[in-house]
Amino acid sequence: MSPDRVAQDAPWLLWLLNAMQSGQEALLQILHSVGLTPDVDGQPAWPWSRRLAGENLLLDVGQARAMAWSLLAVVVIICLLVLAALWWRHSKKRGSLLVTALLIVIATPWPQSQVIWTPASPSSFHHNPLPFSDAAIARGAVHYQRLCMDCHGATGNGQGPIAAQQAVWPPSFTGPLLWRRTDGDLLHTVRQGVFTHSGQQRMPSFASQMTVAQTWELLHFLRAQAAGQLLQLSGNWVMPIALPNMQLHCPGQTWQQVSDLQQQRVRLVGLADVKSVLPDPRMLTVWLPPADQSASFIPAQIDCVVASATEARQALFWLTGTENFTQTQLLADKAGWLRARNDRGADSWSEADLVCRVNEVVQGATQEDSLTRLLRSMDSQPLVYVKGGSVHGLQ
């Protein structure tokens, strides 16, 4: 089941993934607060070599169902054992409680251990502490070109100039890899390298060539690059991608960056002829002026101008794969996910412009204009973003 279908077809599965994730994170916090596990790369280290594998359950709903029953069974068994301990004097009651617990153990469809456990690293539960911003993406691109491109290729397709000399071919980042790994596991891979079971090095470690913060920037870049490549290859953002944070200048408003525009739809416009953009009260309009044009005159239909224009242009190049942004407009939904792209340099939208969709668009014979239909599709199909087996908010 593709992750974005999960929310519709099996909402309980999202609940299960959340419960598994928060349970493990809570355990980690407790261990860390009593000093049983140290910090690694600035965040508490996961002390075990395995963790629960939410990402596998997404692919196997039968096992996920077994997992949900098992969690319930564990809770009930613990309650029965506690009761049995409290009633240890009443041998009859105690006996029947213990027999019930045993029957539950036998009757529960325990999931297969190779499905629910997956190898973990000390940073498996780390979160990227940096905002997904144009500046982070632009800096990440520099690290990538310096350290990764020779093997992983200029577009991240795994076909760099020295790729063929490696013992195994470097993977492509446009496949499901980045979405199946947790951010923390990716951090670990890049900092520590990749080794075979027998200790042979497959990929070098980069901990001595980048700080932790630079590695997090690099991971933001990888995601932006993969999104842009996917858009070029398939015309779609298969996995949700957020409108990056950018510095803004919004006359008459207190907003200073994209993250201040919460719960509003945002239209990002790169057009040179910004006067052709029709005013629309249903969304905020943010203008990225072309490189050779200054935003000295701001027409009334523009709410904000991008202040970090150089970084924004670079980040958008990676995100969309489009070199020249002067024909492009992007639409972000109220949660901040990029949902639609229009490359025609005009203000006419169609539902085919949706590039991150949950369902196929049903063409209705309504009187509404196409932008209204597009906004309605966006709002009625909120995105759920599952990465590395856990449900993420915007990042």
Place of tokens 């943010």: 286
Is the separation of the CB atoms in 151 and 170 below 8 Å? yes
Per-residue x/- marks for ligand HEC, 122-151, CB under 6 A? -------------------------xx-xx
- Total of residues contacting ligand HEC (CB under 6 A): 20
Q: Return the number of the residue (131 or 193) whose C-beta is nearest ligand HEC.
A: 193
Q: What is the DSSP string of 340-355?
A: EEE-SSSS---GGGB-
Q: Check binding of 168 to ligand HEC (CB under 6 A).
A: yes
Contacts of 276 (CB under 8 A, 6+ apart): 346, 347
- Residue 192 burial (CB < 10 Å; 0-12/13-18/19+)? middle
Out of 128, 189, 377, 381, point to the residue binding ligand HEC (CB under 6 A): 189
Q: Which of 14, 136, 186, 332 binds ligand HEC (CB under 6 A)?
A: 186
Determine the Cα–Cα distance for residues 227 and 320; give it in Å rounded to an integer: 7
User: Which span sits near ligand HEC by CB under 6 A: 54-62, 189-197, 243-251, 332-340?
Assistant: 189-197
Site string for ligand HEC, 311-330 (x = CB under 6 A): --------------------
Quick one: which of 111, 122, 170, 388 contacts ligand HEC (CB under 6 A)? 170
User: Taking contact as CB under 6 A, which single stretch among the options 60-68, 72-80, 120-128, 166-174 is the one that binds ligand HEC?
Assistant: 166-174
Q: Tell me the CA distances in angstroms from 8 to 5, 224, 320, 382, one per residue in order.
A: 6, 26, 28, 10
Q: Please choose, out of 13-21, 199-207, 263-271, 365-373, the segment that lies near ligand HEC by the rule CB under 6 A.
A: 199-207
Contact residue for ligand HEC among 6, 138, 190, 356 (CB under 6 A): 190
Q: Any residues with CB less than 8 A from the CB of 292 and at least 6 apart, and which?
A: none
Beta strands per DSSP E along the chain: 39-40, 43-44, 50-52, 117-119, 194-195, 201-203, 248-249, 266-269, 284-287, 304-306, 329-332, 338-342, 385-387, 390-392
Nearer to ligand HEC, 89 or 197 (CB): 197
List residues near ligand HEC by CB under 6 A. Answer: 147-148, 150-152, 166, 168, 170-171, 177, 181, 186, 189-190, 194, 202-204, 206, 218
